[in-house]
Amino acid sequence: MNGYLGFGANLGDRKKNLADAINALNARPDLAVLRTSGVYETEPWGLTDQPKFLNIVAEIATSIPPAELLERVKKLELDMGREDGPRMGPRLIDIDILLLEDLVVDEPDLIVPHASLHLRAFVLVPLAELAPESVHPALGVTVRHLAEQVDGLEGVIPLIQS
């Protein structure tokens, strides 16, 4: 199954944290990172009094079920040093399951597509870079359309790679 994961970091060496997370996920035989979007510097969302984030989206191929994928990304966040803090607060790494093909999951601990996907410019812009014609299975519209309509686009700035 193919899907998309969103990554964000606003503490420590943000670029290294993103790269380390991608590399750690890609190191397993049952999950492959196929490609990643560009890196975007973004304004915080929700809790705004914190440092800016770097965000990317990765396209993945995996044979593991969604609940196990969630366990794996949450364990990776902890292994990388993520600590409990305020919801939407500062973090070394945050990994969200955005889309898994046309799958719709609505369980207490897992919602796919991500419940706030359509509201978050910092995810939609890099996702649209990789998958503009993918259709949000619950809303029935393309990622491109969502990215063009979302509030906050002015706070999503492509990072010039050096």
Query: What residues act catalytically?
Result: 82, 91, 94, 96
Cα distance between residue 145 and residue 149, in whole Å = 6
Length of the chain counted residue by residue: 162
Q: What is the CB neighbour count within 10 angstroms for residue 23? A: 10
DSSP H or E run through 18:
helix 14-26
Please say whether the dihedral angle defined by the alpha carbons of residues 19, 21, 27 and 32, taken in this order, is positive or negative.
negative
